[in-house]
Structures are given as C-alpha cells and as structure tokens.
Chain A
Amino acid sequence: MDYTATLISAMLALVTPLIGGLLMGVDRKLTARMQERVGPPLVQPFYDVLKLWGKVPMIASGLQPVLAFGYLGFAFVAAGLVTFRQDLLLVLFVTGMADICLTVAAFNAKSPYSYLGGRRELLAMLSYEPVMLLAYIAIFLVTGSFTIRGIYEYGAPLLLVLPAALVALEIVLVIEMKKSPFDVSGSGHAHQELVRGVFTEFSGYTMALVELGHWTKLATALMILSLFWAPSPVIGGAISLAMFFVALMVDNLYPRLTWQRMLRTTWTVGFALILLNVAALAVGGVIR
C-alpha cells in the first residue's frame, strides 16, 4: 500500500473545510470589489464561525444539532471519497445524504420559514441531482470508469472531450453555492423573502457546523471540477477557480428567480448540453 498517497489523501480530506472557508473569504472579497467596496479580510469566514461557536447554545429541537453535525460529517465523508479517488456516484449519493440531514434538521424546527426553506432545498436537489448524475455517466462513457482514479488513468483532459459536462456542473455549482439566480432555499445573505430560509432556525454552534459543512461541500465540488484537466493539477485548479469566479459573477449580475425557473433551466440546459455532447462523441467515434 502506498502510504504517502494515503497520507496525502487523508490530509487533503481533513483540510477541505479550511480550503472551503478561504474560498468563501475570496468570494466575499471579490463580490465586494465588484461592487466597488473594500470588503472583509480573506479570513473573515473563520472569524464568523469562531464567533458562532462562542455563542450561548440555543437549539430548535433535540435532533437539530445531531443532524447539523450529520451535514458536516457526511460532507466530510464525501470529501474523503474524492481525495481517495473513489466512485463519483458514491460522492453524489453521500452528498445527498448530507443534504437530507440539513433538510430534515430544517423541517424538524417548528418554523414556517425553515420548513419552506427545506422544501425549496428539496426542489434544488431535484434540479441538480439528475444533471450531476448524467454528467458523471457521460464521464463514465468517455473514461470507462466511474472512479476518479479512472479519470486520472484516462490521461487526456476531460475538458476537451466533455465541455458540456463542465457547463452543466457549473449550473449545479451555482445552485449548490446558493448564489443568484438560484438561491431559492437559503441565500448567502439575508433577504426579505425567506428570512434565512433553510438556515433560519440554526444558531450558535449548529450554525457553525452548517457553515463548516457548506465549506466542505464547496471545496469538494471544486475538487471535482478540477478533474476536468486531470493531467495537470495546476491547470485543473485554475479551471475550478475560473468556474468559481464565473459563479460569483453570475451571482452579482442576476436577481433571484423562481424555483420553477431553476428547475426548468437546469434540466433543459443541463440535459440538452450533455446529451448533445455525448451524441457528438458517439458520432465522432470517441465512445462506442
């Protein structure tokens, strides 16, 4: 067994929340700059989480903290699956488990805003899960494997073969990051429609756990996007950061749209692009 590789994978998995936190800091800084402001320091999200941890605990129900931890925990498991180069479908399903923990925690608080937010979160999942699944299947058709190891073994960069999958996953990233136009379930910052949506009844350490989970999911998503140029981690990283930046730009350009629009756009654009891409590859003989 390759001990160095295992160690690197394990360490990478453990630091995903930190990477995610830094990315959130970059997010806020860039957003500020786009709005001609100075913006908070890059480590601001860490201050936020520490402050939240120091609050006097206040919970909505007995289950809530357990499920909030579940959100973080399963996000961690998904990150581990990615760093250990396991099956992409598994990553999707385990992330789904994390999302269900969050949603049930939101339902379990006896609050209408929380309940509505949880429902909207389910609609968000309905929008992006099929598209992600199809994108991963497209990757399988090209590389012959569902594992991340298989993508590395395939050799050629995926971006050249499956650009549509990257675009589809970009839309998914926008929804997962809860950015406009698809921040229907719990926007990054306060808004009048849903108060804080799915996050309304979280406070103090439970909110800190949810934030950390969100960071972990963000870092995991970007790690997956970096697979589109597997041969070179530098270019791969650049691609994922570019996608991250595109999501930020879209957030600052667009207002929030309805969930019906989110569902319709994700499915039509996502499905159409990936199916066309796969058809083109089939005609071109890249996949049999």
Chain B
Amino acid sequence: MTLIQKARLKSLWVMHFDCGGCNGCDIEVLAALTPKFDVERFGIVNIGDPKQADVMVLTGPVNHRNKRVLRNLYDQVPDPKMVIAVGTCACTGGIFHNCPNILGGVDKVVPVDVYVPGCAARPEQIIDGVVLALKKLAGEAPEEDE
C-alpha cells in the first residue's frame, strides 16, 4: 500500500448533508462526532466544505427539489470519494417511500458505497458504517454478516 493510500485510511474528512429528513439521523451523526464517541481519533473531521471532503454522509430521502443540490454537492467532492447513506430514509426512502414528492433513497441520485439502515441509526452503527467504507477504500471485501 502506498503512503498516500495509507494516509487516506487514516484521514477521512466528512461532509454531512441532510436531504430532507426529520433530523433524527443528523443528531445521531453529530453525536458520533462528540467527545463521547470521539471519531476524531480515527482522523475523521466534520469539514463543511465538499471540496475538501472525502466522504459524504447523507441522511433523509431525496425529493425533486434537493436532487439537484445533492448532485451538485456530489460533483464538487473530489475523487476518491465515498458515500454513506445513514438511516432508512437515505437508504430507501423509509416511511416516506411512497410520497409523491419523494424519489426514494439517495442512491437514486448518487452512487452509494455503504448503507447504514436504522430509524434513527445509532452512532455505533454509523461508526461501523464508516469503518466499512474505509475497508472498501482499502480494497478489502466486507465480512459475512455486515
């Protein structure tokens, strides 16, 4: 593994975007960033600027309005990048699945690397999801029951 590849695993800058959910998952994501869970020890920092991010953490379902915004932000994140869909709404549209304005999960607009279901997904699960993303970045296959 080259030095830069190793560095990518040790330094993951997160851009968190809520496509229109109830904020339940957002609070859990932010909780993961607080001292109690302290993801900064893995080099994970919540950077608000897509241009400097490696991972997009998305919550909430996609609707006709925010699909444009989501796509725009996704395009502004430089490669190599990962997308983590947190919460059932981001994965499949959740309980809003059949609403007329909802397109579905975020994978309708951007390619998703890791799905973290739950309503709301708990911080431990979110951290698990990030670790999976890192493994994917490192090129390892996921284990059986993840």
Chain A contacts to B: CB under 8 angstroms = 28, 32, 35-41, 44, 46-58, 189-192, 195-196, 199-204, 207
Contact = CB atoms under 8 A, between A and B. Distances in A.
* Residue of A28, A190, A202 contacting most chain B CB atoms (<10 Å): A190
A37 B52 contact: no
Contacts of B3: 50
A195 B48 contact: yes
Of A28, A40, A53, most B-chain CB atoms within 10 Å = A40
Contacts of B42: 40
B4 A54 contact: yes
B52 A207 contact: yes
B52 A196 contact: yes
Contacts of A28: 40
Contacts of A58: 51, 76, 78
Interface residues of B, number: 27
Interface string B19-62: 00000000000000001001011110111110110100000000
Nearest to A200: B49
Interface stretch (B5-13, B64-72, B94-102): B5-13
Interface of B: 3-8, 10-11, 13, 35, 38, 40-43, 45-49, 51-52, 54, 76, 78-80
Contact of A51 (B7, B40, B51): B7
14 contacts: A32-B38, A37-B35, A37-B41, A40-B43, A41-B41, A44-B43, A48-B13, A50-B11, A54-B4, A55-B79, A55-B80, A56-B79, A57-B78, A192-B48
Contacts of B41: 32, 37-41
A196 B40 contact: no
A190 B35 contact: no
Given A39-B41, A50-B7, 4 more contacts: A44-B11, A50-B11, A56-B78, A58-B51
A139 B59 CA distance: 56
- Which 9 pairs across A and B sit closest by C-beta, in order of nearness? A50-B7, A190-B48, A203-B51, A54-B4, A47-B11, A47-B10, A56-B79, A37-B38, A37-B35
B131 to A, nearest CB: 16
Contacts of B76: 58
Nearest to B46: A190
A115 B47 CA distance: 19
B112 to A, nearest CB: 20
Nearest to A203: B51
